[in-house]
């Protein structure tokens, strides 16, 4: 009989076996351990965001200021 590799389904150390092992370890992590880290990451992201600057908004403010100066 020739040396044929085992099929991945029967080979626990193959790609599927590694994936299965990873998924079992991932699912074993309790939600109470993951949730605070996710919340902290979400808070950090919301702190970094700034309000988008709008060129049209700035133009309106400048035009209004110029109009007020010329009227005075």
Q: Identify the pLDDT of residue 16.
A: 87
Q: Identify the pLDDT of residue 71.
A: 55
Q: What are phi and psi of 57, to 5 degrees?
A: -65, -45
Q: Identify the pLDDT of residue 64.
A: 67
| Plot region of 24 (φ>0 → left; ψ -120 to 50 → alpha; else → beta) | alpha
Quote the CA–CA distance of 5 and 18 in Å, as a whole number: 17
**The whole model's pTM is what?**
0.37
The H-or-E segment that residue 47 falls in is helix 31-48
pLDDT at 1 over 60: no
33-60: pLDDT as tens digits: 999 999 999 999 887 766 666 666 667 6
10-26: pLDDT as tens digits: 655 688 888 999 999 99
Contact 8, 14 (CB under 8 A): yes
């Amino acid at each position: 009989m020739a040396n044929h590799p085992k099929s991945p389904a029967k080979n626990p150390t193959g790609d599927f076996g590694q994936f299965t092992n990873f998924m079992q370890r991932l699912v074993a992590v309790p939600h109470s351990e993951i949730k605070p880290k996710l919340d902290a990451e979400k808070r950090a992201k919301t702190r970094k965001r700034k309000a988008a600057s709008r060129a049209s908004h700035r133009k309106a403010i400048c035009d209004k200021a110029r109009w007020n100066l010329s009227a005075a």
